[in-house]
Each structure stands twice: as C-alpha cells, then as structure tokens.
Structure 1
Amino acid sequence: MMKLKKMTLNMNGADRTFICDPEKDTLASVIRRLGLTGTKVGCGTGVCGACSVILNGKVIRSCTKKIKTVEEYSQLTTIEGIGTPNQPHPLQAAWVNCGGVQCGFCTPGFIVSAYGLLKENPAPAREEVRDWFQKHRNVCRCTGYKQLVDAVMLAAEVMRGEKTIEEIWYKPDDQTKEYYGKPVVRPSALGKACGTVDYGDDVELKMPPGTLHVALVQPRKVSHGAIISIDCTEAEKMPGVVKVITSKDVKGTNHMDLFTASPLSTNMKAPHHILAEDRIRMYGDVAAMVAAVTKEQAKAAAEKVKVEIEPLPEYVNYLDAAMPDAIRIHEESPNIYAKWPLVKGDEDVETLIDEGEYAVSGSFYSTREPHLSIEGDTVQAYFDEDDVLTIHCKSQSIYWNKSDVAQSIGLPPERVRMVMNPAGGSFGWSITAASFALAGIAAMATEMPIALSMSYEEFMHFSGKRSAAYSNARLACDENGKITAAEFDIGIDHGAYAEMGDDLANKVIRFVLFPYSVPNARVLSRVAFTNHGFGTAYRGYGSPQAYTAGEAVIDMLAEKIGMDPFEIRWRNIARKGDKNLAGSDFVDYPMEEMMKRLKPLYEKAVAEARAEDTPQKRRGVGLAWGGYNVTDNPFDQCTVAIELNPDNTFTKYDTWQDLGQGGDIGSLMVTAEALKPLGVTLDQIRLIQNDSAVCPNSGSSASSRSHYMNGKATIIAAEKLIKAMRKEDGTYRTYEEMTAEGIPTKYVGQHENATVPGLVPTDPITGQGNPSIDYTYALYMAEVEVDTETGKTTILKFTCIDDVGVIGNIHAVEGQAYGGISHSMGFALSEDYLDVRKHNNPFSCGVPYIKDIPDDIQLIHMGTRRKNGPFGSSGASEAFQSSGHMAVINAISNACGVRIYELPAKPEKVKAGLEAIAAGKKVEPPKKYYLGPDMYDEIQKIRDTGKF
C-alpha cells in the first residue's frame, strides 16, 4: 500500500499545502508538480545545478533532495519568487542584457544560485562569483560562463543602488532604426530568465488527461549481440500498462531515411533501426517501449521486459572494426563503409615528404565528444484536430526530421507535423530524428497522445556523439618553412549507425590544413561502423578531427626547424589567389590582418609566460588556426515568408530552429534590416517559427548556414512586399489599401545556392570542388600553466581573433564564441564518452565547470564585409569550435615539452609525459595506426575504378 503525506512549505512567501510520496518524491518533483516549472531538472543526479532553489536560506540542488528530509514549514524560494517578466529582478535584467541567456535551460538555476550569493555577499569580486558557482555545481553548456559573471557583477551594482534597472537595460534606437549589430535583447530571453518558458518536460507536465507516458527498454547488457527474444508477458501485466511496443508494431520502415553524400558509400545498405529488430549494435539501442498511465508505471514495467541476447564480438573503436578479420557489424555492409580521397598537386607527395628538407609525422586521436546539453531528450506526440500526427521536440532540422519520421513510422509526410519546443541546447545531436520517430511510433501504436522522456543516463546512451577519429599525418617544408607536401590518413569511428558518415568524411578532408596554402597533398578519410555510440552532428562538424592532426604537425614542424610557431603560420597562411585543399578560392583572405592583430598579443603572452615560468608551474603559449564553411552545399535552399498584418505590423515565418544560438534574435535582426525602407521598429515585427504546419522550410540550423541563408531569403521576401506596398508617389500602402486593391499581403522569399555561379560539390574521386558559398575564420591563442607535480593543466587566458563578416547581433555571436571556446577547452582537457557504463552524466563525462574555464577570454572581431552575404554578414558558430582545443594542446607542449597525441589531455597523461622526460626518455607518438590498406594504394584504386 502506498502511504502518502500531507505537507506545508512556505513557497515564495506563501504557505502551500500538498500531498507527496515521502519515499519517492524529491523536492524538485514536488515543486514542479505544483506548477513551479521554472525549476528545471537536467542531470537528475545533482551535478548540473539546473534545479537550484533556496531552502531555508541555503542554495541546494532540489533534484536529489528527498522530500522526506525537508522540514515542515521550511521556507523555499524558486525562480518564480525572485522576479516576473513584468517586474524582473536586477539579476534577471542583467542576465538578459549581458547576453547570459542562450538556450536558457540552466538560467533559472544560475539566477537562483546568484540570488543566494548576493544575499550573503552584496559586493562580490569576480573570482568569488566563480567560486560560488563552482561550489554549487552550476553548469552552463552554452555561454562559457563569462557573461554570467558579468551579469552578477552588474546586478550587484543595481542592488547596491549604484545603478537602476533602466540604466542597464539596452534600449534600441527607434529613431535611427539602427539595430543591426547591436546587443538587441532576444525575444525569448526575459521569459527564460524568469522561468516562464516551457521546455519539453514542462509541456509534458501540462498535457491533458489521457496522455500516456512512454518509457524505453534499453537492455544495456552488451554493445553487440543478436536478439534471441523479447518477452513482454510480465510487463504487460504491470499496473497501468496500455501497451508494450516492439519493432513488430511499426507500420513504416523503422529506420532513418539516409542520404548519400558520396557514391563511394555503402551506408544505404545499413539502416539505423528505430526499434532494434535482430541485433543490438550499441549500448543505448532500444528494444521496446512501454506506454502506461503514469511515468512511474511505464518505467516499472520497462524493467520487466526481458530481452535475451546472444553476445557477439564488440568492436568499440575504429582500429578493431577495421581489422581484416573483424565480423561485419551490419551484414549488408563492410565495416569501412565510406572513403573520400583528396588529391591536390601533380607531385609525388610520398617522395616529397620522404626526401624533403624537413618533415615530421605523428599519429593522433580525437575523442568521442559528448554534447552534454543540460536538457536531455523529451518528446510529445498526438493527433491534432486535422488528424495529423503532431510531434513536439527539439528538432534542429524540422523538415528533414519530418521526412525521416514519416517514412520510418509509416505515414505520408502531409500527415506529420513537427513543432519545436523551446530547447535546452543541442549543439548538434538533435539533428537526428530517432527519438522523434519513437514518439510517433508510440502514438500510432496506442492511438493516444503520448509523452516520451528519458532519464539523463538513457539520453546519454541513446543520442549521437561527435565521431572519434584516428589520424596518421606527415608534413614537409623547405628550408624557409614553406609547406611543400602534406599527407593525412584519417579513420573516422562513426559508431553503430551510418547517417551522415560519408558527409563527415568530406568535411574532414576539407579542413586538415585550413586556411594554409598547401601546394601538394594526399588525404584519405575512411569511415567505419563500430559498436560504440553513433556519430552525429556537433558544432564544428568534421573540423575538430581534422585540426587535431593538422595543427599538431604544424607545431611539430616549427619545432623541428627551430622556427617560432607564429612565424611558421605566418609564412604558410593563404594569401589572395591561393587555393584551399579543395582547389577553390577562400572567398575572402583576412588571414594576414588577423595575424597582424594577434602578433603583439602573442609576443606579450610569450614574454609573460617566460617571466612566470617555474619548475613547479610551467607556463606556455599555444596557437591554432581554425575556420569553417558557411551553408551546406551547392544545392542548399532557404524559404521564408513575410506578411503585412491588419494593424500594419509584420509577421515573419521561418524555421530558424533555435537551440540557444539565437534563431529568434537572428530572424528579428535580418527582418528589421530588410524592412528598413519602411521605417519598421522592432516591436512591429512578430515571429512565428518552427512549426511545419505554418512555417516554410528554411533548412537546418547547421553548417553555420542560418544567418546567411535566412538573411538572403528574407531580403527577397521583403523586397517583394516593399515593391507591392510602394505607391507611384513613393509612399507605401497600408494593409487596408492593399486589400482594397486586391494586392496580396504575404510574400515568400527563397534563396537557392544553385543560382550562385561557381559552386560545385566536392568530387568523390579527387576531393576537389567548391561546395560552400563562404567561410569563417578563427585564430586562437591559449596561455596555460602545467602543474609538474600532478600534470594538471590550467588555462589562464584565451584569445580568439575571428572573422565572421558583419555581425548581426553582437551578443548572439559572442555567445557562440564563448560557448564554442568552452567546449573546445573541455574537448582538449576532460570530455569523453568512452566508458559507456561510467560516462552517463555531465560530471562523469568531464563537462567543464566554471573554474575549468578562464574568466580572461578576449574576443577580437575583424568583421570583413562579405560582398555576397546578407548585409555583409556571413555565418558564425562553428568556427568557434573548430580548433581551439589545439591551441590548448600546443600550449601544453610549449609549457613542458609534453605533446599529447590522444585527447583528452587529462592530468595522468601529462604527468606520464613529464616523468618520461625526467627519466631522459623521448615522449614518442602512438605507433602508426592501422586504418586499412595503404592510403596511396587506396587513393589510386579509387581514381582508377571509381570504387573502393
């Protein structure tokens, strides 16, 4: 018999009485059940701080606080008790105006935590703020923390009476209408800061009676095995269970719709099954689902589903899966299922390197990086009033996912509607629609509305990761340090499933030495199935794996010839007229000016490192060049619509999916700029976004394409509307006049890259082509300190000089910069998803807390106007997570002589290197990886036959 308890707590100044289960309820579950959903639950294990509240004057994490340990009549403060959108607290106002709100999922927890700090200490120093957030385990995955400390410091000034909220609130200039580039506040920011925005789990709580709850059956016994049987008998008898769903209940194909980027790929033969059919191919595979009346009943029944599995050999990395005697992970395809060569120059590259004046070689590994968004995965599905299956989720590509879901579950696309919930971060993983399809399958199987939510551990094992990569690299130069030839053989561990794997192979070969001038190169990327978590999109997609090898051998070559790392880069950056590895122009050539800007900062950093260096604390400086493409491919398109409303305001329709990067503010900025001839103010523009029923297909929020593509399409739509509104005397018609004259009031704008001259796909035989309409650039400098006793690396300062074109919203771009840089630091030093049994939450996966990220991060924007970009803009985001990790790795080598070849550079690895040096031994790179048959033979075979 369940025994409940009546309790009363003073919540936000008012006594509230409720009934709870003292054995099962946490403080967070009670708070949220009472409608105070501003308190978010991320990890569920007390390591992320999203659930922070103040209990009896102390900041605590409510997701692990059992309600039975809370004293009756305790005083509780949640985000709702701090301020409201109509009366925001100074902290909320400061968060909004300092650019501290991106995805916003962690924001309430941070603000509550900061509120507790300022109650104790009204005048904290910046380091005291950082110490406080570290102590209370508040994690932000979007911002890089700097803006959050800025916000606390600014709010403290208001609370001390030194400033007013009005003074710190950015006020757009409605007189000049000069909004573009300014720190205009995101439309969604205040709601997120006040905890009033409903994310997926909040939507689930507020769904109507009759909604079923769905739990996953993840066997999590092996990473590879044959399914002998799935016994649902006991589960079906459990209380509240409506249906246990297996692959037999799926009416569609039960797999993702895979596109092929290269005809040399066999990935179409090896689909990603939504519900496992005959095999478990990775630890997080789903064998069944349980739909029940309550979430607790569904989870209890899921534990009763018995999945009998015959273990098969587990290949949990590329090196094992690529061995000639390895069995096939997918019977329909060899384990190495895609290859993409790159051939530049007519010279014999192998001989050039063998006989070159100077040459270096090394083998490198970049880890399977987990995205670690603070919000996991939660999806709702139901049939709407038009009998259309409607799926609420955190899609990063609404129309692509709509197509995937439709074919996998067995409905025509017109009967599937995708709606994006406010999303607590993604960074790429939610471009894959497997969980959205699971929800659709459950709704169809039960013919009931459903809510599917995963625990953070389930999400970690289910979702895709950045693909790990192994690289063998060689680089040669002449006596002047000019690169003569490069050779890169790269094996990409794409995990259990193939989606986008051959596309990733193309991305990697394009960025191995970007943006240097390299006359002769041979590159081969190979992609293999393994039994680890599958690879998917992640900010910088493909470039971090390339830069891990490329920026290492550049430094190694400088060391061999006795040249400064800055100087060797200066001599080899591309100048106007130089071609990139794919044989096309760089579009713009800001590299010299970027290096000129960095040079005095670099010289100062080197001098300071030498001055502060001690045997116990070694100081070093590291550099890395980075960058990324803008837009997907020559066939990319974006469609938007702008409508004149009856009150003479405007509505913009698009699918600029906002995962925290600022799809709302981006759309607002380009729309205001495009409608500038009409004298439109920001409050005259309404955004309707990310609902496939009413919004046109604007494409994915990926490949740093959104600002460029949406901006171009918006200009086209605005020009059509402005032309229709313009009278002969040069004034403009009102809505009333338009309708009276029978003139349409809504106009569609579509930009297609296919209309741009000179764009061609990357050739699958040679790697040559010009697939991207533009590029962004980033030059990094890291200043580190290595503790020689422990091997721990501390990043002291970090500088990024970028060129992303004219900036549309400064806070949005800087948010992407700080956030991307913080991910890069984690990638360099701590982040990993290797041990599937251990790496199941942000802490165990090595997420950087605030004290792991320096407060001293300097951003310098060059802002070269793009002649073809909207308003001179380009893209942003992904350049900021391309190569920053290698600035850190190079700085470690500069500091103490230890080169880390295999990420991450955890203290024990650095310590082992230091001990080897102390013993007079050379720190050797890993033995050359076996990635498959000789790369030169492979490249020649592909060139001769068009096959692999």
Structure 2
Amino acid sequence: MNRRDPNLPLAERPLRVIDVRINGRPCELASDPGERLADVLRDELGLTGTKIGCHAGDCGACTVLLDDAQVCACIVPLGQCDGHAVTTVEGLAGPDGSLSRLQRAFIAHGAAQCGICTPGMLMSAESLLRAHPHPTEAEVSDALGGVLCRCTGYRKIVEAVLSAAADVEAPLPASPSAGAAVGARVARLDGPDKVRGLERFGADRWPDAGIAGTLAMRVIRSPHAHARFTLGDLDAFKARWPGVVDVVTAADVPHNAFAIFAPLRDQPVLADARVRFAGEAVIALVGDAAVLAAIPDADLPIGYDVLRAYGDIDGALDAAQAGVLLQDACPDNVLCRGRVVHGDVDAALADAHGIRASATFETAYVEHAYIEPEAGHAEWLDEGDRPRVRIVACTQTPYMDRDEVAHVLDLAPEQVHIVPSAIGGGFGGKLDLSVQPLLAVAAMKLKRPVRLVYERPESMRSTTKRHPARMGATLTCDAQGRLGAYDFRGDFNTGAYSSWGPTVANRVPIHASGPYRVPHVRALTRAVLTHNSVAGAFRGFGVPQAALLGERLIDELAERCGIDALEFRHRNALRAGDATCTGQVLAASAGLQACLEALRPAWQAARAAADHHNATRNATNGATRRGAGIACMWYGIGNTVIANPSTMRGSLRIDAARGAYLFLANGAQEIGQGTATIMPQMFADAVGLPLSSVVQVMGDTDLTLDAGKSSASRQTFVSGNAARRAGLALRRQLIDLLGADDTVLLRLDGTRLVAGDRRVDLAALPRDAQGDVFSGEGHFDPPTVPLDADGQGVPYATYGFAAQIAEVEVDVELATVRLLHIHAAHDVGRAINPTLVEGQIHGGIAQGIGLALMEEYVNGRTDNLHDYLIPTVGDVPPITVHLVEDAEPLGPWGAKGVGEPALVATAPAILNAIHAAVGVRMDRVPVTPSRLREAILRAAAAHR
C-alpha cells in the first residue's frame, strides 16, 4: 500500500520539485517532500530493487546510498534528497550492463540465497568500499550490521565483500561440461537477477491493470485473543468512506474453512462471529489505498464482546475439564497426539543399576522473521463458461495453495492458477495460506484485480510460528555408557487452529530419542489448542525443540559416566544396520560417526583452548569463562509417512533464437535453498548435456507439474530424483533416435543433436505447440511404511545426520554469551552443489543461534524487527563446515537433504557449551542475560 500521507487528498498534498541524481542521471520529481524515498523509487520510478521489509528502518533491505552514505530509504523523506545523489542496486552495474566486481563476488561466493536482503547488503558494502577500499573483517561486519538476513548466516556475504576488496579478483565458477554439473560449485543460476535487484518478489509485481486499475486491500484483524463480534451497517460505512469499494466478510466466502490437512479444515478465511486469536482476519476492506489507510480503527463497523482467553497449555487443558472447548471437534482441547513405543521402557527404568538423567525443558514461540512480508495480487479471468482466478503471491507450495483456494471458492482446481513470485524467505511460514484466499475471494466477488501487501506488524501478528514446547524426559545408560531407555513427554502449544500441528506432534516422537541406539523408547506428544497465534511449520517441525532436551540429557549422562561427550555420542550413534525407535532398519547412509570423527580434532582443540583461557584468567578476562559444547541430530527427509511425491518434466526444444536446448518444467519452488540451480544440474547430467543448455520455468501451476512443497528438506531427495528420472527418460529417447549405446556423449550444434559422427537435424522432426521435439517425465515417491498404534514402521526413506560444536565465552558478571566459533559436520549423502549446501548450513546455524540466545515471540507485544531480535552479522561467529558424503542409495547421485538438519544441533550445542563454561544447565530458551544471570546466582547459592 502506498505510504503517502492518507489524510490529505492528492490535490491538497504539498508538492515540490525535487532535483536528485538517481543512479547517475538527473531527475526532477514533482512530489510531496515528505514522501518516503522508497515509495518514490519503487512506485514512481519502477526501481523495485529497493526492497521493503519493515517500513521502520529495522531490517535494512531498503538500503540505498545518499551521496556515498548508506541510508534506509523507507524512513528517508524525499525532500532530504534534494540536490543529492541517490544510488540504488540497479545503479551498481556498468553502463554496458556488466556486473560490478562486488556483484560478481556475491555470485562467486554464494552470498545471495532468497535475495530479498541482497540489494541492501550490496549497497551497504558499496558504501564501505567507497570509503575504505581495503577493509578488515571487523569493518565489513560493522558496515553490514544494519541489514538483516534470515537465510545466509552472513558468513558468505562477509567473504564476498572481503573478496571484492582483495587485490586479485576471485573468478566466477566456470559452467561445467556435460556430465560434470553434479558435485560442482556452480554459481546460482538466479544469482545475476538477485544481485541486479531484478528478482521480483510479491510486492514488486502488479496485475496487468497496473497501479491505477488495481484495488488495494486492508485486512481488519481482531485485537482480542478471544471474542464474539457483530458487524454494523456496512452500507453506511461505505457511504462515509467513498473510496471503499467493498467490505468482504465471511458471508462472501463459499467454503469458509481451510487447513493444511483437508479433514481438519478449521480455520476461516474471515472469522464468522467469533475470533480465536489476536490477529485473526475479521473483514477485508477493498478500495483506494490512501482511503483505506486513513480509516481509523474507531470507525470500523465491528463490535466485540471480549471472552476469556486460554493462552497457555495448562489453562486450555483445564478449560476442557470444565467443558470449555476451543474447537468443537477436540473435546479435550487436544488437536492430536503422537506416540512411539519401542521395547519395555518401564522395566528398563526400574533397573536399579542404571545411571539416569532427568530434566524438563521449555521453548518459546519463535517468529519466522523472513525479510519479505507476505504479498500478492489476484485477478478474475472471465474465460467463458470456465472462469478462473489467477493469484500471484509468495508461497512455498503452489499446488497446495491451488487446491485449497479452489475449495474455498468452490471451484475446480484447474480454475485456480497460482503464479509464485520470488520468495523472500519462507522457512515453513509460507506453507500456510495467507494473502491467497483473501485476494481470491475479493477478486471473484468484484471481478477486478486486487492487491495486498502485509506490513511487518500484520505479518507477525497473523502468521504461524514455531511451536512453544513443554517437555520432560528421563534417559538411562549403563556404567559403560550404553544407552538403555528414553521416556519422553512433550506438549506443544499449537495455537488457535490446526496448521501443521499434526506433523509436529507425529514427527517429534520419532526423533525424540536422537540419532542413537536406544533399546527402549516411549515418546508421547500432544498438540494443544490455545487462544494464541497459530503454530505451524518452522524449519524442523518440532525436532529442534526435542533436541534441546535430548542433547542436554546425553551430556549429563556422559558427565556422570566420566566419558568424553564426543566419545559418548560416538559410542551410541546409529549406524547402518541398526534399528531406530520405530523398528526401521537403516540400510545405508547413517554417517553420524563419520561426522563426529570429522569434528574430533576441533573438539579437542576447542576444549583445550577453553581450559587454557579459564586457567589463565587475568585482569582483562577475569569476568569471562569459556566452554565448548557438542550436540548431534538426525532428521527424516521428507513428509512423515504420508504421500510425498514429486513429478518433473523435461524436454528437448528448439526455436529460432536458441536453436536446440533443454527445457525443464521445474515445480520445486525456489525459496533460497537453491532448487533453481540444483534441479537443472541434476537434469542436465541425467540427459548428458551441459548445464548451459538448460532453460527452465518454475512453480507456475499452469506450466509445471506438482513437485510438492518446498519443506521438510525433501526437494533435493524427492524432486531431485524426479528431475533425474525425467532426464534419463529424455536421454533414452535421444539415444534411440541416434541408434547409439548408453555411454555415448551427446552435444547440441545449432538445431542438430550430435553423438560422435552421428547427427540428427531436430528441425526436421515434428514438435508440439511449445516447440518440444522429445520430452521425458520423472516421478518419485519415497518408499515408506505406515506407523502402527505404537509408532512402529518406516516413516522416512532416509535420514540426515549431523554433529556441531559451539565455542562460547560467557561474561559471568553480565551473563552475556559471545560465540567464538561453530564447527558443523553434516552427512548430506552427496553435495550436489557444495557452495549451496554450505550456505544452507550457515543459515541454519544462524537460526539456531537465535533459538538459543535471543528469539522469543510474545503474542500482542513483539510485532516488529526492533523488539523481536534475530541474529545480525555480528552475532554469527566464524563457521567451519565439514561435508560428509555417506551416499544414500535411494538418492539422486546419493544425495539427501540439508535445509532443516542445518538448524537442529546448533542450539543444544550452544547450551552445552554454556554449561561447560559456567556450570549451569539451562531449562528454557532463549537464554537471555537475565535468565542466565539468575541461573548462575542460583547455582552459586546452592554451593554455599
């Protein structure tokens, strides 16, 4: 929504001619001098490389140069630029369009992932390099400190800036030859658009009608966690505000309920007489953007009757005992339960000779905090007796969006066309519907294009979060350190509606006992409904929460047995041939012991360094203690038991401009993790032609097949297999055409397909309407076995394994934690693109740091990126990554997945390091200074 002063009609706004040089060109703007520079750049000049993440100067995505100084364009008034020069990311390239050295360095180092923060990072770095051409690493970190990134973990960005400042430029990776793309450090195929600021996110796109022909939407949301409400006279309201074209209510929604899982459809698009969390959508105003923004809350046609809200787990469970239900379908206010029982836990716990450790642990709500707020637009397409709605929006799951919007609108799925925009971070939060059904209902009702861009507070109040958890467990071992029994119970606050609550409740019991051989396991979970923000999917589906408790207990048992923490884990690590707690026998690719061996030298060095520091404290470091901690993880790749298919289509296509080339219809949605690059890598190698010959289209439900959701670390393993199979199917046709054998080397020469001395002119062959001469389709659904009542079965076809070490320094007086180094060893099966794999690990570690030390979403209080803290570049220490490649036979070229495994071990390793430093075990995250100080004082008092 345009941010001009909405209280003044356009004709009454004070306009002034502003003279400014923009990207080297003089520009005269007759504008309101109080208008935000960002809005002028984006809406009037079309320079959408300047991204908006907060409208408050908190995230830095809108950073531009005012003369040579970096400023946040979202808070700089245009009048301040009069007589000055403004440089945006579009102005970094040379006059001939060639990328600058800094832009090339970002591509070479994999410094851009989703790309939403990339323009801001580039402009901050450009400002630094203009003033200090050869900065130190500390100066780079300081210069980038005002720009937040949720994807990369910052390390590759810092490397890129230092590389750009080096005397000798690092070259861009060469495009690999035929058959050599898999395993190569290929530069991101979408990298050039990201560093040029050309990547088009949800807020960068408009319907064909343009700004003037598109209606804006403002969603009115409940300020109350639980209330009944009535609507007033909507006609009178519209009469008072002539710019309001319509008020969309629950009555306008054909099927006013959606969910991730169709049988649970419990969440309304617009609330109907009752709201269940603060931030729930009540009505949607559609009309002129300035008018909508000017309407005060006091004049909205809604009356609330506030009811008692049950915001915590105990309150909701007690309410059910008193007959108060949050959802009629859940008589005990428990949405669902998870259960894994293996062996005889009670008998094992009764063993008097066993060594045991018990603890409880609590985690908080965690906000996804992707830098791009939700945004999109919808258009009603009158196509005769089969009208359609087209939705352009940020999403991790185009086909799920299509099917659920079709249900909401009472249309056939084919009548809904989803066109994904570029996604500025997702992490699970953009798996759920947000703007899509609201826009679709309005567009269908009004037959006009409608656009909606969430402001940061709206995004934070209305979207899903990581589940808060309350857990308790007991873990036992014998005197030799062999694990015996694990008894785990966990309650997860799932908020007001179902979302991904069932997945969390069922994934956690499978993973709760960790990547270890534990003969006796009982893991029971509940997803409990409350009057809070909906808890959904967030990188790990509950496994990071469970690992915090499990890895603490592993550490405690190692300490009680007098066994080194790494050695204790190595002794109990799952190996190929072992059975998991679900009875699944791991046939191959269980590389945890290899991960631990890779870390052993770093572990020994880290412990020795901490011991030396603590033994030689003096006046300069007397208040600090250092420690090293270790943690392990495992993660089932893909969906838990349920169908997990992916289908890809590839072809050999010719046209006049390109000649013959490979075409990939890539439905694996790119969210920063690299599917826009690794899918073509695998497809090209399967066909046996160079990666440079591949052209792709992504995500669009009219142009691609259903590759499933981009979550659960499934795309490399599942869709990678589908892309490989599509490539092999196409290759078989080409080989048959040539009459060659399977080992033949193929190449393209104009419109000719060549193998040795054999050649075929493809232009002489028939082709379809798209220009395809041959096409191949690949399908893959990982083999699993449904779980029985005790959770026994094969929930996943393969697992990722990892171990991480955290080195910390704790200021005992201030109770602050400084991270010194993170070492991460990950069994990825095969690294299809090592640079991208490292980037995923870096980004996961940064989110693990936030989970451990700073991130806590409080309903009704933290609705911006100033109060809600995520790690900045200064919070992420040096990271050393070890890629362990224990090939998975079912994976494409042996690959598994890494996106979610990257996060899981970080927070428990940090907490174990804090214990090593100051001797306290934390039972809650985030470990804020006040909580750590309290624990240190409590421990000191206990030892007096």
Q: Is the 8 A contact 2:256 2:269 kept in 1?
A: yes
Rate the CA distance shift 1:127–1:414 in 2: closer, same or farther, 3 A.
same
Match of 2:198 in 1: 196
Letter of the 1:876 partner, please give it. Answer: V
1:259 aligns with 2:261: yes
Deviation at 1:483, TM superposition (A): 1.2
Q: Which residue of 2 aligns with 1:667?
A: 679
How far the C-alpha of 1:122 sits from its partner, in A, is: 0.7
Q: Does the CA-based 8 Å contact 1:292-1:298 persist in structure 2?
A: yes
CA contact (8 A) 2:18 2:33 kept: no
Distance 1:291-1:353 versus aligned 2 partners, 3 A rule: farther
Paired residue for 1:928? none
Deviations 1:213-239 (A, max 9, x none): 11110132x111122335543355314
Residue 306 and residue 212 in structure 1: after superposition, are their counterparts in 2 closer, same or farther (change >3 A)?
same
Deviates more, 1:110-119 or 1:322-331: 322-331
SS in 2 for 1:688: strand
Q: Is the 8 A contact 2:496 2:534 kept in 1?
A: yes
The change in CA–CA distance for 1:411 and 1:808 in structure 2 (over 3 A counts) is same
1:99 correspondence with 2:117: no
> How far apart are the structure 2 equivalents of 1:663 and 1:605?
35
Post-superposition Cα deviations, 1:337-385, rounded to whole Å, max 9, x if no partner, equal 211211100x242662573521111110122111110011001101247
Q: Which residue of 2 aligns with 1:852?
A: 875
Secondary structure at the counterpart of residue 919 of structure 1: helix
| Residue aligning to 1:187 | 189
Q: Distance in 2 between matches of 1:269 and 1:849?
A: 38
Take 1:179 and 1:807, find their aligned partners in 2: how far apart are those partners? 11
TM-score by length of 1: 0.91
- 309, 321, 327: which is aligned to 1:330? 327
Structure 1 residue 878 displacement after superposition: 1.0
Q: Residues of 2 paired with 1:100 and 1:280: CA distance?
A: 42
Partner in structure 2 of residue 80 of structure 1 = 90
1:422/1:350 CA distance change after superposition, 3 Å: same
Judge conservation of contact 2:465–2:536 (CA < 8 Å) in 1.
yes
Written as runs of structure 1 = structure 2, the 5 A alignment for 1:411-450 is 411-450=411-450
Which amino acid in structure 2 is aligned with residue 563 of structure 1? I
The 2-side partners of 1:350 and 1:215 are apart by 59
Distance in 2 (alpha carbons) for counterparts of 1:257 and 1:202: 28
Q: For 1:720 and 1:205, locate their aligned partners in 2 and report how far apart those are by CA, in whole Å.
A: 38
What CA distance in whole angstroms lies between the structure 1 residues aligned with 2:894 and 2:699?
Answer: 26
Q: Counterpart of 2:781? A: 753
- Aligned-pair distance for 1:842? 2.4
Q: How does 1:287-306 map to 2 (within 5 A)?
A: 287-293=282-288, 295-301=289-295, 303=297, 304-306=299-301
Pairwise CA RMSD: 2.1
Contact 2:59 2:148 in 1 (8 A): yes
Q: Does 2:145 match 1:140?
A: no
Alignment partner of 2:869: what SS?
A: coil
In the alignment, what sits opposite 2:5? none
Contact 1:318–1:491 (8 Å) recurs in 2: yes
**Cα 1:453/1:751, change in 2 over 3 Å:** same
Q: Secondary structure at the match of 1:480?
A: coil
Q: 2:246 aligns with which of 243, 246, 249?
A: 243
Task: Provide Cα deviations, 1:302-329, integer angstroms capped at 9, x if missing partner.
Answer: 7432322222222222232222347222
CA deviation map 1:891-930 (0-9, x unaligned): 11111012111110011111111112232359xxxxxxxx
- Note the C-alpha offset of 1:64: 1.3
- Alignment-derived partner of residue 650 in structure 1: 662
**What is the SS of the residue equivalent to 1:332?**
coil
SS at match of 2:660: coil
User: What is the correspondence of 1:523-672 to structure 2 with a 5 Å cutoff?
Assistant: 523-587=523-587, 588-613=589-614, 614=617, 615-632=622-639, 633=641, 635-646=643-654, 647-672=659-684
Distance 1:393 1:246 in 2: 22
Q: Given residue 750 of structure 1, which amino acid in structure 2 is its aligned partner?
A: G
Matched, 1:710 2:719: yes
1:358 paired with 2:350, answer no
Which one is further off, 710-719 or 913-922? 913-922
d(CA) in 2 for partners of 1:549, 1:235: 54
Residue 11 of structure 1, CA deviation: 1.4
1:159-217 deviation line (CA, Å, top 9, x unaligned): xxx335xx52211243x642212121112111110112221111139852311111110
CA contact (8 A) 2:611 2:626 kept: yes
Query: What is the match of residue 499 of structure 2?
Result: 499
Amino acid at match of 2:252: D
Instruction: Tell me how far apart the structure 1 counterparts of residues 311 and 326 of structure 2 sit (CA, whole Å).
Output: 11
- How far residue 149 of structure 1 moved from its aligned partner, in angstroms, is 0.6
Q: Which residue of 2 aligns with 1:227?
A: 229
Q: Does 1:794 align with 2:805?
A: no
Which consecutive residues of structure 1, in runs of 5 or more, have no partner in the other structure? 261-267, 923-948
Q: Any idea what SS the aligned residue of 1:578 has?
A: coil
Compared CA separation, residues 688 and 798, structure 1 to 2 (3 A)? same
Count residues in correspondence. 891
Give the corresponding residue for 2:396: 396
Q: Tell me the amino acid that sits aligned with residue 249 of structure 1.
A: D
SS at match of 2:628: strand
Question: What CA deviation, in whole Å up to 9, does each residue of 1:109-143 have, x standing for no partner?
Answer: 11011010011111111111112222xx1111110
> In structure 2, which of residues 803, 808, 811 is the aligned counterpart of residue 779 of structure 1?
803
2:266 is aligned to 271
Q: Is the 8 A contact 1:738 1:744 kept in 2?
A: no
Percent of aligned positions that are identical: 29
Task: Report the Cα distance in structure 2 between the residues aligned to 1:607 and 1:732, rounded to whole angstroms.
Answer: 65
Change (3 A) 1:289 1:725: same
Per mean C-alpha deviation after superposition, the further-off stretch among 177-186 and 698-707 is 177-186
Quick one: which amino acid aligns to residue 380 of structure 1? H
Q: Which amino acid aligns with 1:299?
A: A
Separation (CA, whole Å) in 2 of partners of 1:741 and 1:184: 32
The AA in structure 1 aligned to 2:887 is R
Q: Provide the C-alpha distance between the structure 1 equivalents of 2:785 and 2:259, rounded to a whole number of angstroms.
A: 24
Partner of 2:728 in structure 1? 719
2:912 — aligned with what? 890
The normalised TM-score by structure 2 is 0.91
Q: What's 1:344 paired with?
A: 342
**Counterpart contact for 1:353–1:476, Cα < 8 Å:** no
Q: CA deviation at 1:635?
A: 2.6
1:231/1:305 contact within 8 Å kept: no
Name the CA distance, whole Å, in 2 between partners of 1:863 and 1:890: 27
- Partners in 2 of 1:226 and 1:629 — Cα distance? 42
Q: What is the CA–CA distance in structure 1 between the aligned matches of 2:593 and 2:415, rounded to whole Å?
A: 53
SS in 2 for 1:341: strand
Asked whether the 8 Å contact 2:465–2:534 carries over to 1, the reply is: yes
Q: 1:723: how far off?
A: 2.2
Name the residue aligned to 1:736: 763
State the alpha-carbon separation in 2 of the partners of residues 488 and 561 from structure 1. 21
Q: Distance in 1 between matches of 2:731 and 2:348?
A: 62
1:468–1:493 Cα contact (<8 Å) kept: yes
Q: CA deviation at 1:525?
A: 0.6
Counterparts of 2:687 and 2:625, CA distance in 1: 55
AA aligned to 2:36 is T
1:320–1:883: structure 2 CA closer, same or farther, 3 Å change rule? farther
Contact 2:547-2:905 at 8 Å conserved across structures: yes
Contact 2:575 2:586 in 1 (8 A): no
